[in-house]
Structure 1
Amino acid sequence: MSSTVCVVDYDLVCAAGVGLRSLRDSLAAQRSGLVPNRFPGCSLPTYVGEVSAASNYQWPESEVYWTSRNNALVELALQQGSLLDSLQRIRQLVPPERIGLVIGSSTSSIDQAEDAYRTVREQEGRPHDNLRDRVLNPHAPTIYVAHRTGITGPAVTLSTACSSSAKVFATAARWLEAGVVDAVLVGGSDSLCLTVLYGFHSLQLVSTDICRPFDRSRDGINIGEAAGFALLVRSDLPVEHTGIVLSGYGESSDAHHMSHPHPEGAGARRAIEQALARAKLAASQIDYVNLHGTASRVNDLTEGNLMAQLFPESTFMSSTKGWTGHTLGAAGIIEALIAIDTFKTGLLPGTLNLRDADPEIALRLSADNAQGEPTHVMSNSFGFGGNNASLIFSRGRG
């Protein structure tokens, strides 16, 4: 079955905005969502991209079983904009078993596991209210979305570190192209937790400063949290959509190192070239690229020099992690949606917090936003273990 993969609707929550409208305001004003770390139980001197609405989320009594910070982010994202209304329109056309779910996450509901271990130590036994097998589960965000939406089709959770929720688009496209389903709700969510904060600190990857992607003085990442969703359908399904299509995707795994990227970006190059080939586009036709750009010394050097080799100077590129922080398993979808949204707003975000470009990086970037009318945009996500994904979205090819 050959058909175009169309984007029907999308929305998100992150530190820079609860919902797309709020995020658009932050991007336009160059207002970062990063704040000095005050996360409970964590004394690390750093900045974090905390979603305060997740900290304050109150679960209805009937839904208390699902309590977790990650599920709160998922619920907040689902409530934004017209996402659930669009899903309901799809459900009027196809049965719930013909709608798939693909969600990316790296932490899932690990905050609840942390609470359970604390309680075990304090009470010298296993607390009954922590025995929730559908929450203390790597598959938890997908289980919750299925519960929340009534979708009963194929459901998978992808966990490939920072590329997790970029790869959801590729999986969904294969399902749609093969006729396994008629629509797919793709998404990603990751939440702040002590395991992640102290884990990345132990790898000496966390900056004490606000993160500065591609800057000479960059010295590490700021960890953020986020959740986002996009509703995808085949073009032969008679439903109104945005006119935006997933035109290309590429995936690779170079397995160079547990945490460091390949020094020449070999796997990243393969993912990018696959995406361009699938979209039948030359690099010069890409108008905007949302870079992985974490602000770590090695990642930015590798990605920046690779992108300078592959793309002309006319392609506007930026890292948006200065607004959101590195949202790990949610980074793929958050940054893909930021790239997609340039079709609607014409705003091409700059690289926030960039003050002094690293002279060792050939790629020339600007901290300033730009205006444009992109036709093709790309989003890169490169994870631990060499798990790479590159996505291309196009306007009006459906």
Structure 2
Amino acid sequence: MRKVYLSYHELITAYGMGSQKTVEAIQQEQSGIHQANYFDRHTAPFVSSQIDRAMLEASFQELHPSKEYTRLEKILICSLDTVIKASKLKLNDRVGLIIATTKGNIDVLDTEHPFPKSRAYLTEMARAVSDFFSFTTEPIVLSNACVSGALALAIAKGYIQQQKFDHVFVVAGDLVTPFTVSGFTSFQAMSAQPCKPYSEDRDGITLGEAGACVLVTSDRERTNGTSVELIGEASCNDANHISGPSRTGEGLFRSITKAMRQAEIRTEDLGFISAHGTATVFNDEMESIAFHRAGLSEIPLHSLKGYLGHSLGASSLVETIAGMHSLKKNTLFRSLGFAKLGTSKPLAVIEQTTPKKMQTFLKTASGFGGCNTALVFQQLADES
């Protein structure tokens, strides 16, 4: 079976352009969450993590676009451009493209948006991004709520091991829009303050936006210092409710145990868990139950949403890239916003950024519709 690696990568977040800026801010425990610009007079006050518009526009114009693109497409294109150039790959029929997003160009449905409403179709968005780089293969769109980014990595692994592709560029992105704000507000799930995953005083999510891209490859020669091997992955739908997670954590529990079995590692070998941690009452409770059932209650754990908010389909890819750096730096990143444990089952929440020698980590993601994904990553052995 072919080995699969995550190699060159890029992040675009509220911290700026480039993975290093985001990772350094997280390591320094700096929040990227700020008071949001209100969309209209009907929008209640909220905080969020948003990409600077002027910075994005300046970076995009450096690529000399020949036509107009939506804001999300610009984020995806800028993310991809960095990774494609770093990889030096020719975009032939052995190179795939997966675009992960929850809502895509949902903002074009706003009344005064300049783009045609058809641009909200995910296929239209994907074609615009793919054509910018002249990919020869058909772009694949993966939209499965908030596990989209993580699931895209698992799908890329499958394509490579089935020898459909040798390399797959996985790019993910989502925006903070009136649609998403109003949706979560209607669930009474929005926190007025930066979110506090797993904390007793948590009261809801903070929305965020981000772009992320990584090269998934079978070529060991195309790896670098932060590269990891994807050694286990699994997904399971608990079929509980359209928006509510299973009270028993069944889907996440099954995803974790299957991914760990595939990875052939023991629970005590895990360096840390990069969890979903949205800071809603039900999600965090569900995760604590699933981790407890999987025997992971004592494994160091964090949620990065206290830094970047919840960027929906992009969040798990953003957090995976941060996890790659965590392994490389042998550093556990603090779970920002956590004060006192507020779940029924114990969790080893990381309360301060701490050095730790480690080789593996587990990334989990959960989302609306009962979807759950678990991925196990391992540092590359020195072949010199």
Please give the TM-score of this superposition, normalised by the length of structure 2: 0.91
In structure 2, C-alpha distance between the alignment counterparts of 1:265 and 1:187, rounded to whole Å:
28
Say whether 1:341 aligns with 2:343.
no
Match of 1:125 in 2: none
Corresponding residue for residue 77 of structure 1? 79
Aligned to 2:121: 137
Q: Which moved further from structure 2: 358-367 or 175-184?
A: 358-367
Unmatched 5+ stretches in structure 1: 120-128
Unaligned 5+ segments in structure 2 are: none
Give the residue type in structure 2 aligned to 1:148.
Answer: F
Contact 2:285–2:343 under 8 Å retained in 1: no
Note the 1:42-53 alignment, pairs <5 A: 43-53=43-53
Name the residue aligned to 1:261: 245
Letter in 2 for 1:44: A
The answer to whether the Cα contact below 8 Å between 1:207 and 1:222 also exists between their aligned partners in 2 is yes
Residue correspondence of structure 1 range 133-212 to structure 2 within 5 A = 133=118, 135-212=119-196
In the alignment, the residues of structure 1 paired with residue 342 and residue 356 of structure 2 have an alpha-carbon distance, to the nearest angstrom, of 26
Structure 1 residue 13, shift from structure 2 partner? 1.2
Distance 1:373 1:251 in 2: 28
Structure-1 separation of matches of 2:56 and 2:159? 37
Partner of 1:123: none
Residue 64 of structure 1, CA deviation:
6.8
1:316 and 2:300 are equivalent in the alignment: yes
Q: How far apart in 2 are the matches of 1:217 and 1:239? A: 45
The more displaced of 380-389 and 302-311 is: 302-311
- CA drift at 1:219: 0.6
Q: 1:300 is matched with which residue: 284, 290, 294? A: 284
The residue that corresponds to 1:57 in the other structure is 57
Residue 396 of structure 1 is matched in structure 2 by 380
> Which residue in the other structure is 2:313 paired with?
329
Q: Aligned pair 1:365/2:365, yes or no?
A: no
- Contact map agreement 1:55 1:69 (CA 8 A) in 2: no
Q: Check if 1:283 corresponds to 2:267.
A: yes
Question: SS of the counterpart of 1:130?
Answer: coil
- 1:34 to partner: Cα distance: 0.4
Aligned to 2:99: 103
Distance 1:233 1:281 in 2: 22
Secondary structure of the 2:89 match is helix
Distance 1:132 1:312, change over 3 A: closer
1:16–1:31 contact (8 Å) kept in structure 2:
no
Match of 2:207 in 1: 223
Asked if structure 2 preserves the Cα contact closer than 8 Å seen for 1:163 and 1:388, the reply is: yes
DSSP-derived class of the 1:77 partner: helix
SS of residue paired to 1:270: helix
> Aligned with 2:131: secondary structure?
helix
Amino acid at match of 1:48: S
**Partner of residue 89, structure 2:** 90
CA RMSD of aligned residues (A): 2.2
Q: Report how far residue 56 of structure 1 moved.
A: 5.7
Aligned equivalents of 2:343 and 2:262: distance in 1?
33
Q: Distance in 2 between matches of 1:137 and 1:111?
A: 11
> Aligned to 1:139, what secondary structure does the other structure show?
helix
User: 2:93 corresponds to which letter in structure 1?
Assistant: E
CA contact (8 A) 1:350 1:366 kept: yes
Normalised TM-score (structure 1): 0.88
The worse-fitting range, judged by mean Cα deviation, of 303-312 and 200-209 is 303-312
Q: Whole-Å Cα distance in 2 between the matches of residues 141 and 230 of structure 1?
A: 19
Q: Is the 8 A contact 2:56 2:75 kept in 1?
A: no
Change in 2 beyond 3 A, CA 1:156/1:302 = same
Q: Are 1:7 and 2:6 matched, yes or no?
A: yes
